[in-house]
């Protein structure tokens, strides 16, 4: 079974984007401690994903598989929107919609601008 490097990168970005979308949705709809637990779970998942796809290691030290500071800005916009709608009457339906928009937006951004270290992941 020969997997193309492009599909490996796509799977990596897809999983990270999906969980980030779920995290934004949960943060917008729930009160602590559940929102904090979800943020912590996302961080643990992101680290485990990076280890699984060999995006962390000595050979790529200082060059994490990210999409430059732009992904932080895009993620901050979605995270800020989740905080703004938290506790409002529309949070119950707007949270899942925001999570879906976050998933699609982050995924498309990462597919276009994301850096994935293929040599490290194909071993």
Q: What is the mean pLDDT of the chain?
A: 85
Most confident of the following: 31-35, 43-47, 49-53, 93-97: 93-97
Which residue in the block uniquely carries the two structure tokens 């992101």? 46
User: Any idea how long the chain is?
Assistant: 123
**C-alpha distances in Å from residue 11, one per residue of 6, 29, 32, 65:** 9, 27, 30, 13
Segment 79-85 mean pLDDT: 94
| Tokens linked to 74 | 């895009």
Q: pLDDT category, 55, cuts 50, 70, 90? A: confident
What tens digit of pLDDT does each residue of 3-17 get? 667 889 899 999 999
Segment 36-57 mean pLDDT: 89
| Tokens linked to 114 | 């994301």
Segment 110-119 mean pLDDT: 80
Task: Write down the pTM of the prediction.
Answer: 0.84
Segment 32-39 mean pLDDT: 92
């Amino acid at each position: 079974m020969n997997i193309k490097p492009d599909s490996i990168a796509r799977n990596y970005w897809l999983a990270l984007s999906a969980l980030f979308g779920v995290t934004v949705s949960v943060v917008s709809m729930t009160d602590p401690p559940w929102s904090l637990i979800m943020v912590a779970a996302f961080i643990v998942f992101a680290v485990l994903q990076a280890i699984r796809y060999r995006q962390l290691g000595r050979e790529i030290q200082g060059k994490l598989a990210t999409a430059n500071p732009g992904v932080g800005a895009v993620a901050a916009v979605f995270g800020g929107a989740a905080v703004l709608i938290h506790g409002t009457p529309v949070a119950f339906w707007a949270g899942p919609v925001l999570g879906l928009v976050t998933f699609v937006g982050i995924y498309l951004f990462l597919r276009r601008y994301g850096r994935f270290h293929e040599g490290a992941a194909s071993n």
